[in-house]
Amino acid sequence: MKKICYGMVGGGPDSFIGDAHRKALNIDGQAVLTAGCFSRTPEKCLQTGSELGVSSERCYESYAQMAQKEAAREDGIDFVVVVTPNVSHYPVCKAFLEAGIHVACDKPLCLEVGQAEELCALAEEKGLLFLVTYTYMGHVTAKHIREYIRQGKLGKIRTVMAEYPQGWLAYEGEWGGKQGAWRCDPKQAGGTNCLGDLGTHIENAVATMTGLKIKRVLAKMDVVVPGRVLDDNDMVMVEYEGGATGCYWASQIAIGHDNDLRVRIYGENGSIEWRQETCEKVTIIERDGTIIERHRGNGGIEPSAAAYGRLPSGHTEGWLESMANLYRSFITCLRAKQDGSFTKDMIDFPTVHEGADGIRFLHACLRSAANGCTWEEL
């Protein structure tokens, strides 16, 4: 089978997320990195390219040049991975869409609702695939929950408690290194730090698992650590269409939490608990209170979810496999685009539309917080 070729914007030396995307793509070995604009500093870009086996003439000085040149090559990249700071997601994605290249972009999609809607329209118009890497929704257990709820097994959903606490930015004067620096800098991160970084994951996880649409939000966004200007601890009350309610908490000052995305969903016929850090299992409570623990790889996992597993149960899969699962569906769709067999129902990954939902959520929260915690429609 012909290998798919991809390029990367961002992901230079010291980048965590770029390296993580590359390793995730490596696992199944379906795509090869052949071009990149890994850094705005040419030497750094060339250094990373050289380490990764990208020929120097395909290490570009700007994303614009890269989009143009790759689009023009016979053997140009099939898709681009965008892993820059939030502020540049929009222009980079736009450039590649305009060049006719499929896009995979890290979340949050962009900064403004208008930008998000423009990217949605552009992707539709060009007929291009657009993956937004809400990584955690790649987990087999997350997919199981989505399918379980889709089949109505939980009945009408009543309330959702979801949270994403981290502790690494709890310290005054210690800004979490390069990662912390750009996230807390309004120029690179946009108008929000914590809610943009973590809150969007919560929003997407709940939307993906439950299918609920948010009607309005009430947000309290706080700056806790002295010297910071962007939020680092956020609470959001949510009302969904149809009457369900939710409560979200995102924090970077919760010492003791590593990366603790957790979703609890309460329906009229039972409940579900899921925690990213123990992603190999899901807890399902039936109407009569029976508590059932299901493991990836065991019977009882919905077949459409189970199909993503690579190893037998108990042979732990983790974050990279979750990301790889998003790419697996993305590349399947991409091949289908290339051979003309693509249909929309093949998409089993978060797209630019879910990315735009995240930006709408962020802006409603920002309005609410600015108004002293009012209810704001999405």
Which range of residues in 141-149, 184-192, 278-286, 326-334 is near its own copies by CB under 8 A?
278-286
Site string for its own copies, 357-376 (x = CB under 8 A): ---------------xx-x-
Chosen residue from 163, 231, 348, 354 binding its own copies by CB under 8 A? 163
Both tokens assigned to 197: 């970084």
φ/ψ of 310, rounded to 5, equals -110, -25
Give the C-alpha distances (Å, rounded to integers) separating 185 from 46, 193, 228, 286, 359. 27, 8, 9, 45, 18
Instruction: Strands of the chain (E only): list them.
Output: 4-10, 31-37, 79-83, 102-105, 130-132, 157-165, 214-222, 233-240, 245-251, 262-267, 270-275, 281-286, 291-295, 376-377
| Distance from C-alpha of 249 to C-alpha of 45, rounded to nearest angstrom | 37
Identify the residue among 48, 115, 141, 271 touching its own copies (CB under 8 A). Answer: 271
Shortest Å distance, C-beta 44 to its own copies: 17
Return d(Cα 332, Cα 352) in angstroms, integer.
Answer: 17
Exposure letters 158-176 (e unless 16+ CB within 10 A, then b): eebbbbbbbbbbbeeeebb
SS3 54: coil
Report whether 54 contacts 77 (CB < 8 A). no
Binding of its own copies at residue 292 (CB under 8 A)?
A: yes
Nearer to its own copies (CB atom), residue 76 or residue 297: 297
CB nearer its own copies, residue 124 or residue 277: 277
223 counts as binding its own copies under rule CB under 8 A: no
* Biggest CA pair distance of the chain: 64
Q: Which of 14, 75, 241, 258 binds its own copies (CB under 8 A)?
A: 258
Q: Contacting its own copies (CB under 8 A), which of 120, 224, 336, 347?
A: 224
According to the binding rule CB under 8 A, does residue 241 interact with its own copies? no
- Tokens (6 digits) for 218: 């009430």
Is residue 332 close enough to count as binding its own copies by CB under 8 A?
Answer: no
Q: Between 132 and 161, how does the x/- string for binding to its own copies read (CB under 8 A)?
A: --------------------------xx-x
Q: Do the bridges between strand 245-251 and strand 233-240 make them parallel or antiparallel, or are there none, so unpaired?
A: antiparallel
Residue 293: phi and psi, rounded to 5, are -105, 125
Instruction: Give the residues across from 130 on adjacent strands.
Output: 103
Minimum separation from the CB atom of position 344 to its own copies (A): 28
Other CB atoms within a 10 A radius of the CB of residue 116 amount to 26
Instruction: Give the one residue of 38, 134, 148, 249 binding its own copies; rule: CB under 8 A.
Output: 249
Q: Does 60 bind its own copies (CB under 8 A)?
A: no
Instruction: Based on the shown chain and the rule CB under 8 A, indicate whether residue 289 belongs to the binding site for its own copies.
Output: yes
CB of 290 to its own copies, least distance (A): 6
Nearest CB to its own copies, comparing residues 113 and 373: 373
Judged by beta carbon, residue 52 or residue 120, the one nearer its own copies is 52
CB 98 to its own copies: min, Å: 31
Query: Which x/- pattern over 303-322 shows residues binding its own copies (rule: CB under 8 A)?
Result: -------xxxxxxxxxxxx-
Number of residues that bind its own copies (CB under 8 A): 85
By CB under 8 A, is residue 200 in contact with its own copies?
no
Stretch that binds its own copies, among 58-66, 81-89, 192-200, 266-274 (CB under 8 A): 266-274
Q: Pick the closer one to its own copies by CB: 3 or 124.
A: 3
Buried/exposed 24-41: b ≥16 CB within 10 Å, e otherwise: bbebeebbebbbbbbbee
